[in-house]
Amino acid sequence: MKKTLHLCLALVGILFLQSCQQKTTPAANDYFAQSNDTIQNGGIKMIPITTPKGTFNVWTKRVGNNPKIKVLLLNGGPGATHEYFECFENFLPAEGIEFIYYDQIGCGNSDNPNDESMWDLARYVEEVEQVRIALGLDETNFYLLGHSWGGILAMEYSLKYQKHMKGLIISNMMSSCPEYGKYADEVLAKQMNPAVLAEIEKIEAAKDFANPRYMELLIPNFYEKHILRFPAKNWPEPVNRSFAKMNQSLYVTMQGPSEFGVAGKLEQWDRKGQLKDIAIPTLVIGAQHDTMDPKHMEEMAKLTPKGTYLYCENGSHMCMYDDQKTYFKGLISFLKK
């Protein structure tokens, strides 16, 4: 009798496990399912964008399929490419999270009109909205993740179009460029060797930004300390590939030529006072060694009604690389709430 009971329990256990497997396997298959397109092209979609200067095509690529969580990635720079986000492939697919690479106009695989009048924040907001519509993203699934300059664009977009969003992630970007400039002058600059800082300031005063000595000084004394905390020779290939394609016209027009603070079109950009108007769930990601003030970014999370702060203690501006475990654990937790 006891043997029969044990056998029955064992059979029930096996059937239960098979049932669980049957429930989970289709979900995995759905995530990697082919699209409805006649020809499979790796999830790439070219989207025509209407602008005051005509129509231009932008490049997007979908990774995975999740009807409830779709994360559109906004690259930094301004003028870098989607490529430095490739580390996301090692973390998000395993969690069933869909994400979408996107090169903004003037960046990477998208059209470059070579027209400085196109490098405009308000125009980029409308570009993102057209991308959202073309990809069928809405308030039931649409998360927007903006890193660095992409964080500015994400905040600006959210203030106008949050009704179409499920959530917002601001990664490594302050809500005020004047406060960023102050932090660069009063904190970051003072951490630098005075002799090195004096030489950098001399080059900047002469506007001699093409001088190779400028980068010789910045790489070990600034980039390796605050952009990505590895020796530059060991920087991840996707980062190097993305930065090598930087649209300098776009970068200088928006950011300015200096690495300390902002001197371009964004110099006076400040949305700190409007963060209270972002009503959707918001994750703000800051890092101890960032070019951006981590305390300011923590305050941003408190100013947004549904804000959460993710602090990367060991990270810098690219903390998706130099504090990966903290970054992706926090991001995934936020997306799956």
Catalytic positions are: 148, 290, 317
Type of residue found at 231: P
Pairing of strands 98-103, 54-63: antiparallel
**Distance (Å, whole) CA 137 – CA 70:** 7
Closest Cα partner for 294 from 269, 258, 257, 323? 323
| CA 226 – CA 184 distance, rounded (Å) | 11
Could you tell me which residues are beta bridge partners of residue 138? none
* Structural tokens at position 273: 């006072």
The CA-atom distances, in angstroms, between 29 and each of 24, 65, 203, 212 are: 9, 10, 56, 51
State the amino acid at position 112 in one-letter form. N
Nearest alpha carbon to residue 297 among 163, 147, 167: 147
